[in-house]
Structure 1
Amino acid sequence: MTGAAPVACAHAPVTCIGETMAALVPDPVAPLEGADQLSVRIAGAESNVAVYLADHGVPVRWVSALGDDPFGRRIRAEVAAFGVDITGVRTDPHRPTGLLVKNPGPEGTRVHYYRKGSAASALGPDLLDDEAVRTAGLVHLSGITPALSPDCLALVTALLRPAPAARPCPVSLDVNYRPALWSDAETAAAVLHDLANRADITFVGLDEAQALWGSDLSDASDVRSLLPGPRILVVKDGGREATAFVGRGVHTEPAPKVDVVEPVGAGDAFAAGFLAGLIRGEEPVRALRLGHLTAGAALRVTGDHGPLPDADRIVELLDAPTAQWAQV
């Protein structure tokens, strides 16, 4: 890829590390107060990325911890069914699987978390000795994990502490700012800035960058000035466009128009599509397009995972002239 070193160690799978929870969702979709029944689904940023990477044919592992309970067993089965290697997932006999409840409403979906003391919140730096981490070609994390506990923060810090040249493999981080998980905004801003600036590849939304680090960040270039460290920085501007800073190059691609059913999970899908493009050796513009197409799959469904366009259609859209892409 022009201006960038290889994005992953050759012939080794991507390893995604982070918590996945059981999710209770009103069915049919309605405000929780009036719901007669709830469906059980699964929800986790890093496992979402793993599932979409598997959809794109990328060998991928998901590493986490689950309780020895029905929710944990269901999560294992569902993630594995997508072709994700789950041999690195631990079972904690003393702590439960995390739980969330979605409350859809006219102004968006609110999420209520029940994850304090969960199995995944006990993950720590000892995870670096796990074979699934030691042999990874790329490790993918999110900014959710360091908010879960001091041990989880220590884990993410340990992965990102070595200088990039000293790491066994590149590390990708999606900032994924969740205010409800942090004790205060000032702590979140400081911790996430440090981690995001240390990663080899960083994903951040313009809106979350503004929420974390100041409303005076007016565009992607301002965010790049604030985060000069990552070899590759992707700044997502909602449903409008995404910009990738790769080496000295700057590449921006508009997002296709999508009839949005629910936005939850779209950022994870975008990250997976973009990473899949990089791993394939695609140029940055094509990787951005693959990110947009994968995000569109998530936006069209009520859950976190939707079907990708067929392979021929993806190739057609990646090859489309700029003017045609803008009209997709």
Structure 2
Amino acid sequence: MSDTLTIRSDGALDFLSLGALVHRLDPGNVPFRKATQCAIHVSGGEFNCAANLSDCFQMRTGIASAMVDYPIGDLIAERVRAMGVTPFYKHFTHDGARGPNMATVYSDRGHGVRGPVVFYNRSNEAAAQLKPGDFNWPGIFGAGVRWFHSGGIFASLSETTAELVIEAMQAAKVSGAVVSFDLNYREKLWNAAGGGHPRALAVLRRIVRHVDVLVGNEEDLQKGLGIPGPEVAATSTLDPSAFFGMIDRVVGDYPHIKVVATTLREVHSTNRHRWSAVAWISGQRYVAPTCDLDVHDRVGGGDAFASGLFYGLLTGESPEQSVKLGWAHGALATTFPGDTTMATLDQVKSLAKGGSARIQR
């Protein structure tokens, strides 16, 4: 088996995601118990990558997801259009009272020594009702898709969403698309769906058998795949050696994987982080530069890293440059409110080359 990632050169879409679309209520750094107003951000771990690749990197992207025909659905659909992402929706009708619903994520940013707080209302979520057979994968992939992506957040929602991820990955493989997956382990979601950690291990191990490119930090690898590693809660450093040791175990267990990547984040306070990234690509190790971040909103930083990395690989950049592009885009994303990018490609490339915050005239 070749250890080189093979990416088709053409297709109607450069990138297609499968995942849940959600809206995040953000009161800034005010705790919800004292909040009087919130910004609304359209999000979803899988959608964020498609939106970033479209808006910043000018790629042709799509999202396969659930859509409810009510005002919150309209708000979300408008934002999908605004980011230039082609939708493939399974439509649901709201009953006026109980749903089904587009999920709500609540997230205050914290400040200083007070960390961010995230919780959910995913009751009667339309995306959790998605199942195999809901999308015409032969038609979608038949038009040409270069890269397919999904993640552990969507897989956690129900038994049927996990099966849908596998169905889509199998169709993507038949069509010749690269398949990527972000483990994005969320304990609250796996517990809420039933089965908890044992179910998460079983589901994610099945899914990863179909994956070419795996994204996940140390905690994701430990809890999502059962890979031994250091006690994550006890350390927060930028030393990549522990992560590379875990990668050796991952590719030993899943030798078909061509790329494993993650961000490295040393948190000094909610608003001050040291930031880097690492990747294992076709047997070689790559480490991004390190920089200090003044964080405005950390939500979506990991998705922004993945987006920049995917862009580099899709456009034929070297592995080293691809990692730098991911690192730079992830760093820039933390300076904006919301879950999706507001960066330009020029900004990303400038920072990847060693640019600074000097004024641009």
SS at match of 2:4: coil
Tell me what 2:31 maps to. 31
| RMSD across aligned positions (CA) | 2.7
Q: Deviations over 1:134-163 (max 9, x none)?
A: 432211101111111111011112234589
- Counterparts of 1:133 and 1:180 in 2: how far apart (Å)? 33
CA contact (8 A) 1:16 1:141 kept: yes
- Counterparts of 1:145 and 1:211 in 2: how far apart (Å)? 16
SS at match of 1:157: helix
Bigger mean CA deviation after superposition, 195-204 or 50-59: 195-204
User: Does 1:122 find its partner at 2:129?
Assistant: yes
Tell me what 1:221 maps to. 245
Q: Deviations over 1:149-187 (max 9, x none)?
A: 1110111122345895x4542211111111111131222
Superposition map of 1:140-151 within 5 A: 140-151=149-160
Identify unmatched segments of 5+ residues in structure 2: 95-99, 231-241, 266-273
SS at match of 2:293: coil
Identify unmatched segments of 5+ residues in structure 1: none
- Counterparts of 2:245 and 2:289 in 1: how far apart (Å)? 16
CA contact (8 A) 1:102 1:109 kept: yes
How many pairs were matched up?
Answer: 319
Q: 1:327 to 1:306 in 2, by over 3 A?
A: closer
SS at match of 1:77: helix
TM-score by length of 1: 0.87
User: Does 1:191 find its partner at 2:196?
Assistant: no
What letter is aligned with 1:304?
A: D
SS at match of 2:116: strand
- Counterparts of 1:62 and 1:255 in 2: how far apart (Å)? 32
Tell me what 1:269 maps to. 304
CA contact (8 A) 1:298 1:306 kept: yes
TM-score by length of 2: 0.80
Structure 1 residue 325, shift from structure 2 partner = 7.7
Q: Percent identity?
A: 24
- Counterparts of 1:127 and 1:170 in 2: how far apart (Å)? 22
Structure 1 residue 3, shift from structure 2 partner = 6.2
Q: 1:266 to 1:73 in 2, by over 3 A?
A: same
- Counterparts of 1:133 and 1:70 in 2: how far apart (Å)? 30
Tell me what 1:203 maps to. 215
Aligned equivalent of 2:146, options 129, 137, 140: 137
Structure 1 residue 8, shift from structure 2 partner = 4.3
Q: 1:221 to 1:162 in 2, by over 3 A?
A: farther
Q: Deviations over 1:11-48 (max 9, x none)?
A: 3311111101122221x530001111222222211111
CA contact (8 A) 1:99 1:114 kept: yes
CA contact (8 A) 1:50 1:84 kept: yes
CA contact (8 A) 1:9 1:138 kept: no
- Counterparts of 1:209 and 1:19 in 2: how far apart (Å)? 22
- Counterparts of 2:351 and 2:337 in 1: how far apart (Å)? 24
Tell me what 1:176 maps to. 184
Structure 1 residue 133, shift from structure 2 partner = 4.4
Q: Deviations over 1:29-68 (max 9, x none)?
A: 3000111122222221111111110120111011111211
Superposition map of 1:90-105 within 5 A: 90-94=90-94, 95-105=100-110
SS at match of 1:198: coil
Tell me what 1:65 maps to. 66
